[in-house]
Structures are given as C-alpha cells and as structure tokens.
C-alpha cells in the first residue's frame, strides 16, 4: 500500500483526504491519504521520518510551507515563491514543489479566462497564497499588481516578481476597473461576510478568483457576480493544486470529476 498525506497544524478539517482518496478509488490504487500534525519543533524529524517510512508524498500546509523549503530540494518555482506545498519522496531525494501556483492558473484557465498572456491581473494578498499566485500569473505572461494591507509586503513581493508593482489596499479603486483578472489571496471572507475589494470597482469584463473556499460563495464572488463578472471559487484552486500533486506522485492523470465531486460533497458537509 502507498501512503500519502498532509502535514500541517491544524489539519483536522482538511478536505484533502476525501479528495485524494476519491482519485485512488477511481484508479484502483492501493493507497491511503492521512493527516499529520507534528509539533513545529519536530518538523525536521517528521520529514526525515516520512522518507524513512516510505511515505510516497506529502502535502504541506500552514504553518510549515516556508519551513520545509530547507528540508527538501525545492524546484525553481517553489524556491522563487519561497514555499513548498507538495513533497515528492518517489525519487532519489525528497523534492519540494508549489502546486498552489499551478492550481490557481488552471482554475482561471478552465473556469474563467482562456489566455492569461498579456492580461492585467490584480492579486490582493502577499502571504503564502498571494506569493504563489503572483509568480504564477507573471510566469503566464500577465502584468501583476500586488495589493496588500501591509504595503511593504506588497512592494517586497512585487520587487521579486518580474514586471510587477506593489500597492496598498487604497489602490484597488484605480487598479480593478482596468484589470482583466482579480484574485483574492487574503483570508478576508473566510468564515465571515467581508470582502477586501470595494464592490463598485468590479465590472463585467473581469474574471474573479477567490482563494477562500469556506464559504464557497464569498461576499467578493457575490459582488462580482452582481457586477456581471466571471467568478471562480476557491474550491477550483484547491482541486487543481491537489490534482497536480496527485499527478506528480503517481504519474497518472488526475480524475478531475471524481476529485471535484468528493471535494464539493465534503465542503457542503453532506458526506
């Protein structure tokens, strides 16, 4: 049996186990996906132990995405983002990857905008998700504006992302009307009816991705839909980051429909 899992703290409400196990069932794989909550001080030992025990792959979430960077061999994208969310133990040495980046791109491409090359994108947030999305969009050929509550984090990130500029939240009223793509990569809207983006700057030519997936229909997405924009909820990003990890670990094509069904069933809590 192959073992995969998630390392984070807390991981109790993670949607990754049902999503990945749906993929194993679809492919008839003898595999399990389990969650681990190591003490932060024991992270090095946890990763070494996982390798020694023959675990095939781990996803990594808050608060460990930055810390595992030094414990594995990161690929170029993960090194630039400064965060690893997927460890692959199937090669000679553990390698680190960031599938949040590809997950955001694929969700925009398949659910919203076909061509990101030449697009103008506003990324709100400069934490882990904001960093992944900003690098991903720039790599896809978009011009990226990073907007963040703490302006220094926005300007620091923008300085590392080719062609990007950094701003405070007060720039949204000017930037969003001229944008093709808007991504909320802050935690605003999670378990609360709040949005970081004023509704009156949203417009019908915009594609809006909200990385927040609980609730699925955030206030930002409701405002965006009311403005006639195309909306992409955070479960799509979660789905495609998981699909990319599955494909990397197994070499098999991810069964998107089965994974999506499992994810949305569990998000609705009607398992």
d(CA 134, CA 157): 8
Compare residues 2 and 258 and give the one whose CB is closer to ligand NAP. Answer: 258
Q: Classify the C-alpha dihedral 139-142-148-153 as positive or negative.
A: positive
Residue 5 or 125 having the CB closest to ligand NAP: 125
Identified binder of ligand NAP from the candidate list 32, 149, 203, 222, rule CB under 6 A? 149
Residue sitting closest to ligand NAP (CB): 127
| Beta pairing class for 143-147 and 2-7 | unpaired
Q: Among residues 51 and 139, whose Cβ is nearest to ligand NAP?
A: 139
Smallest distance from ligand NAP to CB 24, Å: 20
Site track 2-41 with ligand NAP (rule: CB under 6 A), x = hit: ----------------------------------------
Total chain residues near ligand NAP (CB under 6 A): 26
Active-site residue list: 65
Which CB, 71 or 101, lies closer to ligand NAP?
Answer: 101
Residue 211 makes contact with ligand NAP by CB under 6 A = yes
Among 60, 84, 87, 126, binds ligand NAP (CB under 6 A): 126
Among 102, 130, 166, 255, binds ligand NAP (CB under 6 A): 130
Interaction between residue 186 and ligand NAP (CB under 6 A): yes
Stretch that binds ligand NAP, among 135-143, 147-155, 160-168, 250-258 (CB under 6 A): 147-155
101 near ligand NAP, judged by CB under 6 A: no
DSSP annotation string for the chain: -EEEEEE-SS-TT-SHHHHHHHHHHHHT--EEEEEE---GGGHHHHHHHHHHTT--EEEE-TTSTTGGGGGSEE-HHHHHHT---EEE-SSSS-EEE-HHHHHHHHHHHHHT-S--TT-EEEEE--SHHHHHHHHHHHHTT-EEEEE-SSHHHHHHHHHHSTT-EEE-GGGHHHHGGG-SEEEE-SSTTTTSS--SS-GGG--TT-EEEE---SSSS-HHHHHHHHTT-EEE-HHHHHHHHHHHHHHHHHSSPP-HHHHHHHHHHHHTT--
- Cβ 127 to ligand NAP, closest distance in Å? 2
Which parts of this chain interact with ligand NAP (CB under 6 A)?
Answer: 62, 100, 103, 125-130, 148-150, 153, 185-188, 190, 196, 211-213, 234, 237-238, 241
């Amino acid at each position: 049996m192959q073992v995969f899992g998630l390392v984070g703290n807390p991981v109790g409400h993670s949607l990754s186990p049902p999503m990945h196990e749906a993929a194993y069932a679809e492919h008839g794989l003898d595999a399990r996906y389990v969650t681990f909550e190591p003490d932060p001080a024991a992270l090095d030992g946890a990763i070494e132990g996982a390798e020694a025990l023959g675990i095939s792959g781990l996803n990594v979430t808050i608060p460990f995405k930055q810390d595992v960077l030094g414990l594995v061999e990161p690929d170029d994208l993960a090194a630039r983002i400064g965060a690893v969310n997927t460890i692959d133990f199937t090669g000679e040495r553990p390698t680190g990857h960031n599938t949040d980046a590809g997950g955001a791109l694929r969700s925009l491409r398949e659910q919203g905008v076909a061509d990101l090359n030449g697009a103008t994108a506003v990324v709100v947030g400069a934490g882990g998700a904001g960093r992944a999305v900003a690098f991903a969009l720039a790599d896809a050929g978009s011009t990226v504006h990073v907007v963040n509550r703490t302006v220094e984090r926005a300007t620091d990130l923008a300085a590392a992302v080719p062609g990007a500029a950094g701003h405070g939240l007060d720039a949204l009223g000017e930037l969003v009307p001229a944008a093709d793509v808007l991504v909320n990569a802050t935690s605003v809207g999670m378990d609360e009816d709040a949005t970081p983006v004023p509704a009156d700057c949203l417009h019908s030519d915009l594609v809006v991705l909200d990385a927040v997936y609980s609730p699925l229909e955030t206030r930002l997405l409701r405002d965006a839909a009311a403005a006639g924009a195309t909306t992409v909820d955070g479960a799509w990003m979660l789905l495609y980051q998981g699909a990319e990890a599955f494909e990397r670990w197994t070499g098999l094509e991810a069964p998107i429909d089965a994974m999506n069904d499992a994810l949305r069933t569990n998000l609705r809590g009607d398992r």
